[in-house]
């Protein structure tokens, strides 16, 4: 009798762990990034624009070769209100 109870408990624990693992895996989405590059006429300042669709986030990276400067800024495009 105790063996049957132990087996049922083991199966229940494995089922709960599998359910929770599956729930976590469904919540993950691959990060999709779209990138393009712009630059000024002299070519010494380059902007790399990256858009992450899952986060609705722009990342703008500015490379200034004349002054050896690097600047990165994130711009969120998430709506501030909910429907």
* Residue with the two structure tokens 């709960």: 16
Token pair listed for 42: 């002299």
For 3-52, the pLDDT digits (tens) are 777 777 877 777 777 776 665 555 555 666 788 888 888 878 888 888 88
> What is the DSSP annotation of 4-72?
HHHHHHHHHHHHHHHHHHHHHHHH-----EEEEEEE-SSS-EEEEEEEETTTTEEEEEEEETTTTEEEE
Better pLDDT: 68 or 81: 68
């Amino acid at each position: 009798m105790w063996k049957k109870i132990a087996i049922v408990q083991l199966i229940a624990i494995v089922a709960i762990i599998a359910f929770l693992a599956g729930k976590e895996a469904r919540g993950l989405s691959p990060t999709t990034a779209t990138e393009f590059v712009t630059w000024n006429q002299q070519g010494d300042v380059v902007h790399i624009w990256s858009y992450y669709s899952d986060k609705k986030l722009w990342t703008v990276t500015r490379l200034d070769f004349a002054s050896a400067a690097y600047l990165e800024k994130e711009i969120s495009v998430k709506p501030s209100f909910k429907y």
